[in-house]
Amino acid sequence: MENNLLSGSIPSTIGKLQNLYILNLSKNKLSGQIPPSVCDITQLGKLYLDSNNLSGNITGSLGQCKGLLELNLSRNNLDGSIPVELFASPPFSLGLDFSHNNLTGELPLELGTVGAGAGPTSLHMEVNKFHGQIPARWQLVSTVQINLSHNDLSGVVPEFFEHLHMLEQLDLSYNNLEGDVPTGWIFENSTAVLLDDNKGLCSNSSRLALPICPGLSASANKTKHHLSLLATLLLIVLPPLTIAFLVLLWFLPTLWKSVVFSFLQLAVASKKMFCFFAQQKRREMHTVPFNDEKKLKRVSYQDILKATNWFSSLHTISSTCTGSVYVGSFKFDRRLVAIKVFNLSEPSRCDSYFIECEVLRNTRHRNIMCPVTVCSTLDSQNHEFKALIFKFMVNGSLDRWLHTEQHNGIPGRVLNFGQRICIAADVASALDYVHNQLTPPLIHCDLKLENILLDDDMTARLGDFGSAKFLSPDMFIPESLDDVGGTVGYMAPEYGMGYEISVGADAYSFGVLLLELLTGKRPTNDMFVDGLTLSIFSESMFPERVAEILDPCMGHEEHQGCAEVWGQRYIVPLVALGLSCTMESPKDRPGMKDVCAKLSAIRDAFLEHRDDD
C-alpha cells in the first residue's frame, strides 16, 4: 500500500489482519495517531509508516509486538518522548528509524540494553529535539549504522562506541557534544564518523580534524621540550667522547687494538642477530593464519584480553557452564573473530578443548567450523587458560533464525523453504564427512540448532565438537552412551540405556533437526508430553496432512507453493527422511552417506525447478 495517496487515519480494525507479516503504509497522506491495535497482528515482523502526517505520541503498545524486526516511523509529525515500554521485549533487530520528527526528551537507556544489548542493525534518530547525554551504557554490539545528528545532545562522546566492532557509520554531527573524542576502532576511519558542528569536541588524533585537546597539547609540548634538551645534550657530549675514544685506540698496543676491534665486531653481529630474531618474533606474534594452513600460531592471553576488552559483557555472544564465546578482533588483523574461552573449573572441560583441537588437526571441510588459531597458556592469576579462535559467523546460529521469539540481534531471521533445504544438506554433508571420510570416524554427540552457524552467504557450518568422540581403539571412548553429552530432545533413545556409541546417535539427532526445520517446532515444545515427540507428531500427519505441520513462518509465497505444488515432490520425501532417521533402533536408521545423497538430490531438483519458474 506504499507510495499512494491514502489519507485519513489508520483504522483500529487493522489489528484483525492476524497473518500479516509486513505492513507498509509509507509515503501516503495518513494522519492521526498510530492505533495500539497494530500489535494485535501477532505475525507482524516489519512495520513501515514513514513519510506520512502521523502525529501524537508513539504508542508504547508497539513493545508488545514480540516478533517485530523493523520499525520505521520517520518523516512524520510525532512528538513527545520515546516510551520505555517500547523496549519491553527484544524487537527491532533489523532496524529502528524515528528520524525527522519532533520527538523530545532523553535517549532511552533501554534502547541499548534490551535483549542482552544486541541492538538494531541500523538506528536512526536524526533531526529531532532529543537532549541530554548519549547513554554510556548502551550495548549495541550488532549495530552497523547509528545516526543521532541534528539534535540537542550534550556531554561527551561515550567510549562504548569504540568497542562496537560491527559499527560502520556513526553520525553525531550538529549537536552540543564536548570533550575528548575516543580514538579506537571506528574513530580510526575519518570517513566513517561525522562530528561536524560540535564546537566543544577535541582530539589528539589528526584523523578527525578536530582541535587538539588542551591537556594533551601541554603534554605534547612538554615531551617535545624534553626531547629537544636531550638532543642538545647529545650534540655537546658525543663529539669529545668520540675523539677521546679514537685517541685511545691509536695509543693502545696492536694486540689490544685487535681485541677492541674484535669486541666491536662481535657487538655489531650480536645486535644484527638480535634484531633479526626480534623481527621474526614480531612477525609471528602479529600474524594470525586466517586460512587453511595446518600449522597454527597461538595468540597470547594479552591478545585475547585486548580483543574482548577484558572479557566485557558488550563482547559476549553466549555463555554456558562449559565456557563463554566473545566477539572481538586483534590489533594485527581487524577482521572479527569468535573467541571461545573454556571454563576449566572441571577436568572434563579441558578434555573438550583437546577434542576440538584434534578435530582441527584432522578435518578440512567447508561445512565444519574449524578454529583459525588457539591459545593455551596461563592467565594473569597463573590459572590454566585455554581458548579457540574461530572466524566470526555474521549470521549467527540457526537457532536464532528459526526461533525468533527467544532471540534478538540477528538480521532478517526468516528462512524460506529453499534456505532450509540447503542448510539441511550442508549439515548432512558435514556429518557424512566426519562419519565416513575421517580416519578414525568421529561422532559429534551434540547435534542441535545452536551448534549450526551460518556465514555471510547462509552456508551452514557445524560447530562445537567439545562432546565429540572418535571411534578408534587407540583413543578413549566411553563404553556406553551414558558417558556422552547431549541435549534433551535431540538425544537418541539409546542414550542412558547402555548401548555402545555409534554413528546412529548422530543420525537420530539429524532427523530431529530436519523435522524441526520443516515444522518450526522445538523438540522440547510444551505440546510434546505424555510420550508425544516431534517425530511421533510428524508421523501422525504423514503423508496426507503433511502440509499442516509446516512452519507458517517459512515465507508466505513459498509456503503456499510448498503446500500446493511441491508437497509430493519435496516436502513428503523430506519428512520421510526425517522420520527414517528418528527410528527407535539405531540399526533401522540410514547412514549419513545415504541421507546426504538423498538430501542433495532433493535440493538440486528443487533449485532447478525454482530457477525454471
Q: Where are the domains of the chain?
A: 7-211, 286-392, 394-612
CB 574 within 8 A of CB 551: no
pLDDT band at 503 (very low <50, low <70, confident <90, very high): very high
Average pLDDT over the chain, rounded to an integer = 80
What is the band of 484 on the pLDDT scale with cuts at 50, 70, 90?
low
pLDDT score of 214 more than 70: yes
Name the grid cell of 35.
Answer: 492505533
Q: Is the dihedral of CA 599, 363, 287, 297 positive or negative?
A: positive
Give residue 311's identity as a one-letter amino acid code. F
Q: Does 161 have pLDDT greater than 60?
A: yes
| Gap between the Cα atoms of 469 and 441, Å rounded | 9
Of 107-121, 143-157, 414-428, 586-600, the poorest mean pLDDT is in: 107-121
Per-residue pLDDT for 436 more than 50?
yes
| Overall residue count recorded for the chain in this entry | 613
**Cα separation, 465 vs 357, whole angstroms:** 9
Question: What are all long-range contacts of 459-462, with beta carbons under 8 Å and residues at least 24 apart?
Answer: 459/366, 459/367, 459/426, 460/367, 460/398, 460/422, 460/423, 460/426, 460/427, 460/430, 461/366, 461/367, 461/368, 461/369, 461/393, 461/426, 461/430, 462/367, 462/368, 462/369, 462/427, 462/430, 462/431
Active site residue 446: yes
- The neighbour count for residue 320, using CB atoms within 10 Å, is 10
pLDDT band at 494 (very low <50, low <70, confident <90, very high): confident
Task: Give the residue from 40, 49, 110 showing the smallest Cα distance to 82.
Answer: 110
Q: Whose grid coordinates read 513428503? A: 572
What 3-state class would DSSP assign to 472? coil
Q: Which positions ≥6 away from 26 have C-beta within 8 Å?
A: 2, 3, 48, 49, 50, 51, 52, 72
| Measured distance between the N- and C-terminal CA atoms of the chain, rounded to whole angstroms | 26
Question: Which strands form 316-320's sheet, in the order they lie side by side?
Answer: 316-320, 323-330, 333-342, 384-391, 373-378
Query: What are residue 194's phi and psi, to 5 degrees?
Result: -115, 120
Q: Is 566 helix (H, G, I), strand (E, B) or coil?
A: helix
In the numeric block, which cell numbers belong to residue 321?
Answer: 557452564
Q: How many CA atoms lie within 13 A of 222 on its CB side?
A: 6
Mean pLDDT of the 244-272 span: 57
Per the residue annotation, which of 446, 464, 506, 551 is the catalytic one?
A: 446
Q: All 3 cell numbers of residue 212?
A: 587538539
Q: CA 203, CA 195: separation in Å to the nearest integer?
A: 11
Sorting pLDDT into bands at 50, 70 and 90, what band is 363?
confident
Q: Give the integer Cα–Cα distance in Å for 412 and 446.
A: 27
Coil vs helix vs strand at 251:
helix
Strand duo 29-32 + 176-180: pairing = unpaired
Measured CA angle at 63 (ends 59, 64), to 5 deg: 110
pLDDT at 610: 73
Q: Up-side HSE of residue 508: CA atoms within 13 Å toward CB? A: 27
Across the range 255-279, mean pLDDT stands at: 52
CA distance 202 to 181: 6
* Selection from 457, 443, 534 nearest residue 488 by Cα: 534
pLDDT digits 0-9 by tens, 557-603? 444 445 556 667 888 999 999 999 999 999 999 999 999 999 999 99
Give, to the nearest 10 degrees, the angle between helix 417-436 and helix 592-612: 150
C-alpha cell at 167: 559499527
> What pLDDT does 9 receive?
93
3-state secondary structure of 51: coil
Question: Positive or negative, the Cα torsion across 326, 331, 333, 334?
Answer: positive
Q: What is 286-392's CATH topology?
A: Phosphorylase Kinase; domain 1 (3.30.200)
Closest CA to 431 of 365, 479, 493: 365
How does strand 22-24 pair with strand 95-97?
A: unpaired
CATH 1.10.510.10 given to domain 394-612? yes
Q: What is the pLDDT of residue 27?
A: 92
267 vs 508, which has greater pLDDT?
508
CB neighbours of residue 535 within 10 Å: 20
Q: Which fold has domain 7-211?
A: 3.80.10
**pLDDT score for 558:** 47
Own/partner pairs, 475-484, CB within 8 angstroms, 24+ separation: 475/440, 477/501, 481/505, 484/445
Burial 408-439 (b: 16+ CB within 10 A, else e): bbbbebbbbbbbbbbbbbbbbbbbbbbbeebe
